Structure 1
């Protein structure tokens, strides 16, 4: 018989394998749930049987490592592990700064997990706790770098376990193919991470390791086998989980004198087709009498890629699609706003709002940029013009090249620029002329105008918020009517030289909502909108404003939209009275009046004056004879459709007759005529 010497049992340590999806889930968890919290969380990982592959050049088997894997569902403890895998749970702790990560009391964290393992060994007997692990991280979400360090605590046996004789052998040679086939059949389809094996007549039986005392009754030690799913593929060294199960057996069942354990390192989750290529290993390990019954020390911090004890780094930036990086970066700023300042902020509602911008000039360019900043993903621009040489310096979506050869269509050019800025936006540009009151339609153009109106109606129906950003007053009339009739959020922005107006139109009453009683752009008019574009001088054809005014008005318009979206009443949000805003008010007063939303009060109109650097909130009531939003106009539009609109375009007096403004004018003229016949007494004797 050969003279074999005993050797200390060496174990293949765990090597972490973190899937990119885990870091994406950690990013979501950090922003949406953890925020600045640093409390520990439970986490789940899995490992499977060790695997090796044959090198085609050398013909040798190459181990694939002793991996423990974290995936996207790591924070869901109820998730099923992959097939033929074992789930193990651990403790996860994320730090808010890299300094906190570096200076963390890692020994204390490690000992806490070790105590849980030792408690399972000595007290509860919970076999699932033997593979507990620790993961600490720092997530640099701006650079998509994740610093992490795993620990897989393993109890140190003193004295150490040794393996005498021939060492680790092929399980096929020791147990035989029929025994392995029988064991495989008993373990399928669900594997035990640790199990017991005993012979039974011509078969083998298996049981959970927790049944050690009863399962091996009347079974001689030479036929008692302890098996475990071995994540190691090494022929010489079993996997890391064996360390703690040996401590478990030694402390609970093999407490007296020397111990000897027959170990089956199970690596055959799939039965070999040829019946002989079994990969499992077998060995008998021994340990002298224990020196101390107390808690042993533990080891288990994972080494980094340099082979030293230290953290690892996952840099996802080079791996990620730049579009996805941009999308996450946009969301990061907004989500930080929510969890640091406004937890009730409904970002999803903002992002899901489909915005239609009528006008792709100075206002349209600035509005679209601010919408991007708020995370809006669906923006459609409508304009009938081309980019001119005067545009790029004032309209930030255009460049000099866009002006050449007659200029690119403004709407399409602006939409493409938005996609270059942020590829995740769904931006479209449509070249379309909007018919206007006071601008008669020639008979030969009626068909085209009919198509244009149908397209505009479709666009307004498909979008949630409509921005009126055109150059002329009358061009805003048709979308005002359509937007009010369809219950959309309609916002106006208009510029003067050093003043601006930003306003929202009031919502139309329905069977379930009350009217907000807020006026539209035309509610202060006592005349119908008419042609303001004919015979204009150069200064009248161009919008002459201070260069910074458009950016201020555009940003204000978008902020007003978001405030409306965050108010419980939405488009019907009441506006606080001017005297309410003029004085100091508290949140309680605002809530009592129904004015307060998540972002504060929602004004009706804002008039800004750069000469005084002043902004005035104004409330204007809806006018029952308004040519833009009165029920007379809306019902005529809904009843007659295109015919009604054609009358408004061709007949300058139609809207005034429809709303009763003509009677108002007649009454006013009659009153003036009556006043002309009055004799005034100029004597002041009584003064």
Structure 2
């Protein structure tokens, strides 16, 4: 009579959304352009109720190698392969990846390392691409398993544990099982059990051959499958280990598929499977057997999966992340010494909100500066929007909006994450008479300007006249602030930096000589 072939229930991957957030964070702050494999962790559970799929979970803690596996869950060791582009994700040699993973499992079987560390039999690969501008993620799981050259078949029809043990003996089994698990730092997914009358023994896999002449010996594993008569995926590599190292008869290998569920608040293992299998002998196999394991997608096709988390993300955070990503790409590729945190913390004061002011403000936002204050005493006129990109026609009507306030509002519309503020303020200029009635107002403006210079790290002089640059230049020099002066002529331009400087790394900041604004350019 033809023997029935043993089939296995494949894993279904379950990824917690926190994993993607942690991956995004690591990509931005740790990995950069590094595409080398990273060690991660997952786990599976063998106590799910009937109807649940054979689940394998990966959570936000996957990147922490010291994180504890949840209670009564079995650890899985994984490799993360995160690509920098979607094309690299699609073109990745998946056959080579699974072949390399299979060789590692085979080496652990042949060397006997898997006897001491059975977790090496339950591993996974995760190939990903993270589009951090849109929060789109592409991923593909692989659960590599070695395949013998001939099929594994049933020697007898599957049975339930309740048909082999009495209720009292099952209680004894649970006590022995819990004692066995408590002796290990993490739950063991594989073990050897002796189910003899009145004497139930559970041992580590490495002691399997101590029971080679014992008929009641069973190779046990924590079975995540809930499908009757079909064991879960982890059994595949376990059978390869048994075939290579078991000195007993391979024509009747007993397997216990432990399904440790809870029903009405009570643990129930009565539905666990007992299998008697004919396992091919691979002791003389020299080359690594074929390896399978790429997960099918929702349509049951061998293809990657896709998840879109943009809807769950705050648009402001999305914009901030996209801006940061552009800058970090620049740092990764061109300027490793670029201190983006320092740039984002720098507070910039822009004196002038005209052609120069609007363009400098947008440029600073593009460089990740988050705090920008604009000062201007003018109003938006009809000639401004065509030259000054932060203004529109609506800003010109009814006498025009104050330039600084209108520019700040436009910046927030462009990027809500910027802390932009606009102030209407007159800057006193040498040689310009001040009426007696306006003296108090001028004093107040001077005090406000002084406070602004004190509270900002860099001052940009983007004013129309050289006289208006004089007072803020003196104030910034007195407070040792960085000053950048920019001016436009009809066919000339000037950009000049003065203020503090450090000639050597770690030296105290010393003021640069105050440089008078260039005459004749406005």
TM-score (structure 2 length as normaliser): 0.83
User: Looking at CA atoms only, which structure, 1 or 2, has the larger radius of gyration?
Assistant: 1
Identify the range of structure 1 (171-180 vs 482-491) with the bigger mean alpha-carbon deviation: 171-180
Distance in structure 1 (CA, Å) of the matches to 2:224 and 2:451: 61
8 Å Cα contact 2:3-2:153 kept in structure 1: no
Given candidates 280, 283, 289, the residue that maps to 1:290 is 280
Q: How many angstroms does 1:152 deviate by?
A: 0.8
Say which of 223, 228, 253 aligns to 2:246: 253
Q: Shift in Å at residue 399 of structure 1?
A: 1.0
1:128 aligns with 2:149: no
How far apart are the structure 2 equivalents of 1:408 and 1:82? 60
* CA–CA distance in structure 2, aligned partners of residues 152 and 508 of structure 1: 57
The counterpart of 1:278, out of the listed 249, 263, 268, is: 268
Residue of structure 1 equivalent to 2:231: 238
1:164 — aligned with what?
156
Instruction: Determine which of 160, 181, 195 is the counterpart of 1:187.
Output: 181
Q: 1:366 aligns with which of 337, 348, 359?
A: 359
Query: How many Å apart are 1:368 and its aligned residue?
Result: 0.5
Partner residue, 2:508: 513
Aligned partner (choices 476, 494, 499) of residue 487 of structure 2? 494
1:470 alignment counterpart: 463
Task: Give 3-state SS (helix, strand or coil) of 2:237's partner.
Answer: helix
Partner of 2:397: 404
Please state if 1:62 is matched with 2:54.
no
Partner of 2:426, secondary structure, is: coil
Match of 2:138 in 1: 147
Asked if the contact 1:50/1:66 (under 8 Å) is kept, the reply is: no
The 3-state SS of whatever aligns with 1:149 is strand
Output the CA distance in 1 between the equivalents of 2:186 and 2:40: 22
Pairs within 5 Å for 1:301-450: 301-439=294-432, 448-450=441-443
Alignment counterpart, residue 109 of structure 1, candidates 93, 97, 100: 97
Hey, what's the Cα distance between the residues in 2 that align with 1:491 and 1:247? 71
- Relative to structure 1, is the Cα distance of residues 133 and 494 closer, same or farther in structure 2, using a 3 angstrom cutoff? same
Residues 459 and 267 of structure 1: CA distance in aligned 2, closer, same or farther (over 3 Å): farther
- Bigger drift between 190-199 and 502-511 goes to 502-511
Distance in 1 of aligned mates of 2:309 and 2:347: 32
Cα pair 1:505 1:521 within 8 Å, conserved: no
**Does the 8 Å contact 2:28/2:325 carry over to 1?**
yes
The secondary structure found in structure 1 opposite 2:368 is coil
Bigger RCO of structures 1 and 2 (CA < 8 A, at least 6 apart): 2
Q: Is 1:10 the counterpart of 2:7 in the alignment?
A: yes
CA pair 403-99 structure 1, distance change in 2 beyond 3 A: closer
What SS is found at the alignment partner of 1:42?
Answer: strand
Measured in 1, the distance between the counterparts of 2:71 and 2:480 equals 53
CA RMSD of aligned residues (A): 3.8
**CA displacement at 1:376 relative to structure 2:** 1.5
In structure 1, the partner of 2:80 is 92
Alpha carbons 1:469, 1:492 under 8 Å: kept? yes
Q: Which runs of 5+ in 1 are unaligned?
A: 53-60, 526-542, 546-687
In the superposition, relative to structure 1, how do residues 274 and 105 fare at CA in structure 2: closer, same or farther (>3 Å)?
Answer: closer
- Residues 514 and 25 (structure 1 numbering): CA distance in 2 closer, same or farther, change over 3 Å? closer
Stretches of structure 2 that go unaligned for 5 or more consecutive residues are none
Contact 1:194 / 1:227 at 8 angstroms: preserved in 2? yes
Query: 1:25: how far off?
Result: 4.5
> Does the Cα contact within 8 Å between 2:498 and 2:512 map onto a contact in 1?
no
Cα distance in 1 for residues equivalent to 2:463 and 2:166: 86
Q: Give the CA deviation at 1:265.
A: 2.0
* Alpha-carbon distance in structure 2 between the residues aligned to 1:211 and 1:16: 32
Partners in 1 of 2:282 and 2:470 — Cα distance? 91
Farther-moved stretch of structure 1 (493-502 vs 87-96) = 87-96
Deviation (angstroms), 1:184: 4.2
Q: Which whole-Å CA distance do the structure 2 matches of 1:236 and 1:352 have between them?
A: 62
Equivalence map 1:11-26=2 (5 Å): 11-26=8-23
Q: Distance in 1 between matches of 2:279 and 2:173?
A: 32
Superposition deviation, residue 245 in structure 1 = 1.8
- Deviation digits for residues 578-598 of structure 1, max 9, x if unmatched? xxxxxxxxxxxxxxxxxxxxx
State the alpha-carbon separation in 1 of the partners of residues 417 and 119 from structure 2: 44
1:160 and 1:489, CA in 2 relative to 1: closer, same or farther beyond 3 A? same
C-alpha contact 1:196 1:209 (8 A) present in aligned 2: yes
Matched-pair contact (CA < 8 Å) for 1:49–1:267: yes
CA shift in 2, pair 1:508/1:202, >3 Å: same
In the alignment, structure 1 residue 228 sits paired with structure 2 residue 225: no
- Most deviating of 282-291 and 464-473: 282-291
Q: Alpha-carbon deviations, 1:52-75, whole Å to 9, x = none?
A: 4xxxxxxxx531x22223344444
Sort the Cα spacing of 1:185 and 1:291 in 2 relative to 1 into closer, same or farther, 3 A.
Answer: closer
Query: Does residue 47 in structure 1 map to residue 8 in structure 2?
Result: no
Once the two structures are TM-superposed, the CA of residue 366 in structure 1 deviates from its matched residue by 0.7
Cα offsets for 1:444-484 (capped at 9, x unmatched): 65555554444333332222111122233333333222222
| Counterpart among 44, 58, 65 of residue 77 in structure 1 | 65
Structure 1 residues 367 and 79 mapped into 2: Cα distance closer, same or farther (>3 Å)?
Answer: same
- Structure 2 vs 1, CA of residues 205 and 429 (structure 1 numbering), >3 Å: closer, same or farther? farther
Q: CA deviation at 1:13?
A: 0.7
> How far does residue 243 in structure 1 lie from its aligned partner after superposition?
1.9
